[in-house]
């Protein structure tokens, strides 16, 4: 068979194979985009563990009509303004997440750019891009991902029970929330509230403490110590649990 350039939808599906393993990986990409957009409130809605619906709404800076059309294209990103891979200021930068997700699901994005008086929406189903249409969205961005893996049934078979997939999403959202105490996070699964974390107010140090207590329980503060370390490449700060502090789970 001669060498050929693969069709772009197949390229997107291959890229999706690398990062999109299950509903929680989709949710993580969408929540990271919301944080990169400066959101103060992020709400996740799941149906059937995210197999039939994963929706993420944010109150971030939104996208204009032109940006919306570009956002679903491969290698399109607003996050590398100086083309400098050694100076990355955002959680994403590859410009791959949305086209990858859109190649294995039915994606719909509604968005209104901050300060604009009009909202827009675009749908992409199995990689097929639809028209840009007006949307009634009031602010920020709402992204819906339906029927994940409907184009790749082999992947669909590897998904586990709805409860397991929902629990994976809650776990990932809690981890993201620990690092972002100034942002509110909510997660609903099949109409039930699974996570509700209000934004913490005040000094960053107190906010971190509060958010950790909200997630790990109030006794975590007394049973952990602060850590702060720095070298020429990175800075680490946070709290680590004491060896004597542990909780039983189904394995212990
Ligand atoms: N919730 C959002 N609010 C505002 N803009 C968004 C949002 N989600 C995506 N975008 C825009 O769409 C672009 C493409 O998003 P996508 O996740 O595909 O790529 P990325 O975040 O730039 O990089 P990566 O593939 O590493 O996540 C982003 O660079 C951003 O400009
Ligand atoms: Mg992204």
Question: Helix, strand, or coil here: 200?
Answer: coil
Considering only the top CATH level, what class is 8-197?
alpha beta
Q: How confident is the model at residue 57 (pLDDT cuts 50, 70, 90)?
A: very high
pLDDT at 104 over 90: yes
**Which tokens sit at 147?**
């029927």
Specify which residues 142 forms β-bridges with.
57, 110
What residues contact 252, with CB distance under 8 A and at least 6 apart? 246
CA of 16, nearest ligand number: 1
Q: How far apart are CA 25 and CA 129, in angstroms?
A: 22
143 CA: nearest ligand 1 atom = 1
When pLDDT is averaged across residues 6-17 and rounded to a whole number, the result is 89
Please name which of 8, 78, 72, 83 lies closest in space to residue 37, comparing C-alpha atoms: 78
The full length of the chain comes to 252
- Kindly list the domain boundaries of the chain, sorted by start residue: 8-197, 204-241
Q: Report the nearest atom of ligand 1 relative to the CA of 92.
A: 26
pLDDT at 251: 63
Residue 137 CA, ligand 1 centroid: distance in Å: 18
- Give the residue among 24, 17, 78, 13 at the shortest CA–CA distance from 46: 24
Measured from the alpha carbon of residue 72, the closest ligand is 1
**Which residue CA neighbors atom 17 of ligand 1 most closely?**
97
Q: Among 82-86, 93-97, 163-167, 178-182, where is mean pLDDT lowest? A: 82-86
Q: Would you state the torsion angle of the CA atoms of residues 32, 37, 40, 42, taken in this order, to the nearest 10 degrees?
A: -40
pLDDT for position 206: 87
Q: Choose among 237, 236, 185: nearest CA to 211.
A: 185
Residue 135: strand, helix, or coil = strand
Q: CA-CA distance, 252 to 157, in Å (whole number)?
A: 30
């Amino acid at each position: 068979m001669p060498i050929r350039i693969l069709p772009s939808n197949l390229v997107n599906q291959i890229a999706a194979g690398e990062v999109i393993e299950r509903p929680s990986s989709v949710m993580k990409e969408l929540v990271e985009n919301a944080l990169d957009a400066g959101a103060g409130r992020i709400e996740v809605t799941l149906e059937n563990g995210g197999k039939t619906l994963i929706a993420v709404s944010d109150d971030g800076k939104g996208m204009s009509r032109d940006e919306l059309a570009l956002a679903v294209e491969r290698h399109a990103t607003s996050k590398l303004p100086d083309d400098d891979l050694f100076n990355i200021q955002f959680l994403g930068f590859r410009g791959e997440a949305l086209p990858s997700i859109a190649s294995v699901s039915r994606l719909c994005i509604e968005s209104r750019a901050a300060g604009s008086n009009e909202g827009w929406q675009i749908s992409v189903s199995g990689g097929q891009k639809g028209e840009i249409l007006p949307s009634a969205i009031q602010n920020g961005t709402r992204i819906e991902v339906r029927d994940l893996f409907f184009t790749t049934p082999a992947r669909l078979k590897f998904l586990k029970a709805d409860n397991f997939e929902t629990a994976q999403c809650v776990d990932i959202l809690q981890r993201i929330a620990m690092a972002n105490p100034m942002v509110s996070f909510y997660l609903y699964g099949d109409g039930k509230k699974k996570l509700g974390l209000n934004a913490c107010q005040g000094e960053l140090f107190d906010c971190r403490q509060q958010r950790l207590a909200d997630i790990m329980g109030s006794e975590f503060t007394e049973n952990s110590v602060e850590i702060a370390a720095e070298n020429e490449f990175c800075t680490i700060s946070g709290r680590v649990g004491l060896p004597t502090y542990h909780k039983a789970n189904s394995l212990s």
